[in-house]
Structure 1
Amino acid sequence: MTSWGKRDEMIVHERDPFNAEAPPGVLVEEFVTPVSTFYSRNHGPIPELDPDAWSLRVDGAVSRPLTLTLAQLQAFDHVTVTATLQCAGNRRADLIKVQDIPGEDPWGRGATSTAEWTGARLGDVLDAAGLDPAPGAGHVAFDAPDVSQLADPPQPYGGSVPLAKARGPEVLLAWAMNGAPLTQAHGAPVRVVVPGYIGARSVKWVQRLTVQPEPSDNYFQATAYRIVPPDVDPTQAGPGDGISLGPVVVNAAILAPFDGSRLPAGRTDISGYAYVGGDRTVARVDLSTDGGSTWVQADLGRRTDRWAWTLWSTSVDLAGGPHTLLVRAWDDAGAQQPESPASLWNPKGYANTSWDRVEIVVDAA
């Protein structure tokens, strides 16, 4: 095992703060991603909190502000949700190939993982605090103790989601991951899990919830996780500039075979994931083995988990020579991934949902 209990095969982009993803071939091994393989995205040093001393403050536009210990939080109904989290920078490496993105980690396909999360519904906790449905209750902000130097001046991490999402039965204050207590690297003792939204909104080590009229003014909500136009200097972008990222749009990637593989001729298994957030589901996945001239529909795997990815697969006969594998997904509203990463390039490298491309060589029979 490497840092923070992660597998040795992890691709480590930074050690402090710790940022790492699984290689594609490892990620496809299981529907539920082991904790040792789950991607890790951090903006500052990972805090170490004492579960016995931890508490959660719930305030703002509520009639009964609360301070809950871990034991008191765990007295709420326990709920388990299988949900995928995807970093907004997932597949940034392909955008960097279009044009360099200085200062940003070159995430590949592995900044996406799925876990079984157990905790209390955020909505139940808000109800216990006497949630006020008046205009003062438009968003729920989350505050955490991990301080990031990326903000100027440095500040603790935070974010928010609209109240309508926060009250969804899938949104949790989670204390367990895959049936075991959260690890330090994944937000122990308690984190927010917001299925269907970019991973940045699933705030780890959460210590405060505030019901308020507007989105959080925290740097990572107001400034960082926003798509700005291609001609904008991201270092000069301020609060409110660009488009705020929330629900994940449809995305698919090829996990096996990996880019640059050399394979024997004949029947070849190809697999990967497809995922979409919001209120949508993956409806179809198409695969091309000839650079987009022809397409076949892939088989969609386990489909019982509303908030989790689809692990798709197919088998094709490949003749000798080079092959360009392409994958594209469609959601149930008819939206499809755009073809080119160039059309999506932005100076922070967020939301690359273009067709995924893998180049392989097949040996002659």
Structure 2
Amino acid sequence: MIPVLINFLLTAREISVITCTQNISNFTTEESQTTIDLASNYNTTCLEYTNIFIPNNVTCPPLNETDPYANDPPRDSRLISRSIKPYNGEPPSNLLLEKFYTPNEIFYVRNNLPVPCVHVGNYSLEVGGINLTTVQLTLRQLTTLFSPTTISAVLQCAGNRRSEMNRVKPVSGTKWTGGAIGNANWTGTNLRDILALAGFQRGNYSPDVLNTLHIQLTGLDQDPKTGTYYGASIPVSYILDDNFTPLVAYAMNGKSLTPDHGFPVRAILPGIVGARNVKWLQKITLATQEAQTIYQLEKYKAFSPSITSATVTQEDYNNTDPIMDLPVTSYLASHTDGQIVENGTILVEGYAYSGTGRHIQRVELSQDLGSNWILAEVTERTSKKLRRNWSWVFWKRNVSLSVGRNEIWVKAVDSGYNQQPQEIKDVWNFDGYLNVAYHKVVLNAS
């Protein structure tokens, strides 16, 4: 099927009419001179538009051809810079414990390429693909044509805690500690609604075809050397799961997205590794293959500990699935490894999280190398409904320290009774992804 491009760039007055009608129809395309019903019986709520998510003061300076990173936005001074070009930064882990929803300004920043500057007036999101009608949506339309959805969800970089893995055996990549993770309230349009607007219906595809389809997501961040855009994808099976709530998000903790976090819109795919949550989203494509980018086909794959960067083969890449759902993890965030503290009883605190919507069943601590375990108190969490919990939990526990070296182990168990592995060596991989082994911290008491 050849998609028909619908001119969907309407004025604010036209939008106000559409959002107060009961179905969206009768859009005429100049190419076909026919009237196309965008989505049969597609109902929409009459919403009052506000400007809260569309800043009108975004100005884009001229491109700097000498330094493509010259126009990157300023960052909060509390972020620990792990690389500058591209910029990657994380907060000190103890700051994460101050608020259950991580403040936007200290939410970790993971960039692969220069940050694009997007002027709202020039922006549109293209949606199309197999058996779909290609449509383009402006930011104003994304915030008014659909009922907004808000979910609480963690984003976590695949390389979170990579620095610990690096101590076992050298790995490549940004040497994150435990701050490449954050929890936020994300507001946007359900990706299913956007696909439905373009004509997506399960019945339009045979089961054999449906099971092979992918949702490709393309960002506006561009490689200055090759000219290629960042892109990733997820199997369409995620979209077919009613327990999954994918968003095209335009707000983070009640505020417009910042440039570092994907302004004007980004994908939020709860429970899935951050690399698939494409920022500065410009295109959504239903396709018969996954995204044909290095970020999908080569990077963000975790190989066996027996494979090294020198021995990995193309067959290894072809036979290894890209990282999707995040495994269960936990972290002692109130103190750093090797920290000097007073002996006696102290309070230790941290976070725990599991992907695929599983909630944290319990968090346990050991002070005798795993011979005995004590339960931590889970202090903050969202819903415990199975497969619908996309947030982390906070935990705390008083522990008694004797003078000298005290080693504390932390592990979490999720509602599927998945547990963390004990040793980093068992999950080591040359790119340093998915370090979800017990978090082990040494505190030196004086």
Q: TM-score range by the shorter chain?
A: over 0.9
Q: 2:234 matched to 1:161?
A: yes
Q: 2:283 matched to 1:208?
A: yes
Q: Is the CA contact 1:326–1:358 (under 8 Å) kept in the aligned structure 2?
A: yes
Q: Is the CA contact 2:305–2:427 (under 8 Å) kept in the aligned structure 1?
A: no
Structure 1: any 5+ residue segments left out of the alignment?
Answer: none
CA distance in structure 1 between the partners assigned to 2:268 and 2:370 by the alignment: 37
Q: What SS class does the counterpart of residue 322 from structure 1 fall into?
A: strand
Query: Which runs of structure 2 are paired with 1:219-230 in the superposition (5 Å)?
Result: 219-230=294-305
**Match of residue 349 from structure 1:** 432
Deviates more, 1:309-318 or 1:83-92: 309-318
Q: What SS class does the counterpart of residue 304 from structure 2 fall into?
A: coil
Q: When the two structures are superposed, what TM-score results if normalisation uses the length of structure 2?
A: 0.76
Q: What SS class does the counterpart of residue 226 from structure 1 fall into?
A: coil
CA distance in structure 2 between the partners assigned to 1:153 and 1:205 by the alignment: 18
Deviates more, 1:337-346 or 1:212-221: 212-221
Q: Deviations over 1:304-341 (max 9, x none)?
A: 24210111111122232210011011111211100000
Comparing both structures, which one devotes a greater share of its residues to strand? 1
Query: Which runs of structure 2 are paired with 1:326-345 in the superposition (5 Å)?
Result: 326-345=409-428
**Match of residue 25 from structure 1:** 94
Q: 2:288 matched to 1:183?
A: no
Q: When the two structures are superposed, what TM-score results if normalisation uses the length of structure 1?
A: 0.93
CA distance in structure 2 between the partners assigned to 1:357 and 1:79 by the alignment: 38
Q: 2:355 matched to 1:285?
A: no
Q: Is the CA contact 1:228–1:241 (under 8 Å) kept in the aligned structure 2?
A: no
Q: Deviations over 1:108-160 (max 9, x none)?
A: 111111111111001111111111421554221100121247xx956211111
CA distance in structure 2 between the partners assigned to 1:325 and 1:9 by the alignment: 27
Q: Kindly indicate whether structure 1 or structure 2 has the higher relative contact order, using CA contacts under 8 Å at least 6 residues apart.
A: 1
**Match of residue 324 from structure 1:** 407
**Match of residue 263 from structure 1:** 341
Q: What SS class does the counterpart of residue 240 from structure 1 fall into?
A: helix
**Match of residue 52 from structure 1:** 121
Return the offset for 1:262.
1.6
Instruction: State how many pairs are aligned.
Output: 358
Give the letter aligned to residue 221 of structure 1: Q
Q: 1:213 to 1:269 in 2, by over 3 A?
A: same
Structure number, greater radius of gyration: 2
Query: Which runs of structure 2 are paired with 1:38-77 in the superposition (5 Å)?
Result: 38-75=107-144, 76-77=146-147
Structure 2 residue corresponding to 1:251, chosen from 329, 335, 347: 329
Structure 2 residue corresponding to 1:101, chosen from 151, 171, 174: 171
Q: Is the CA contact 2:171–2:432 (under 8 Å) kept in the aligned structure 1?
A: yes
Deviates more, 1:93-102 or 1:297-306: 297-306
Q: 2:382 matched to 1:309?
A: no
CA distance in structure 2 between the partners assigned to 1:143 and 1:260 by the alignment: 42
**Match of residue 217 from structure 1:** 292
Q: 1:357 to 1:205 in 2, by over 3 A?
A: same
CA distance in structure 1 between the partners assigned to 2:381 and 2:131 by the alignment: 38
Give the letter aligned to residue 283 of structure 1: Q
CA distance in structure 1 between the partners assigned to 2:237 and 2:301 by the alignment: 21
Q: 2:220 matched to 1:145?
A: yes
Give the letter aligned to residue 251 of structure 1: T
Deviates more, 1:127-136 or 1:170-179: 127-136
CA distance in structure 2 between the partners assigned to 1:237 and 1:50 by the alignment: 42
Return the offset for 1:302.
2.3
**Match of residue 300 from structure 1:** 378
Q: Is the CA contact 1:10–1:20 (under 8 Å) kept in the aligned structure 2?
A: yes
CA distance in structure 2 between the partners assigned to 1:332 and 1:234 by the alignment: 35
Deviates more, 1:108-117 or 1:127-136: 127-136
Deviates more, 1:186-195 or 1:93-102: 93-102
Q: Is the CA contact 1:228–1:234 (under 8 Å) kept in the aligned structure 2?
A: no
Give the letter aligned to residue 249 of structure 1: P
CA distance in structure 2 between the partners assigned to 1:357 and 1:111 by the alignment: 18
CA distance in structure 1 between the partners assigned to 2:266 and 2:239 by the alignment: 14
Return the offset for 1:231.
4.3
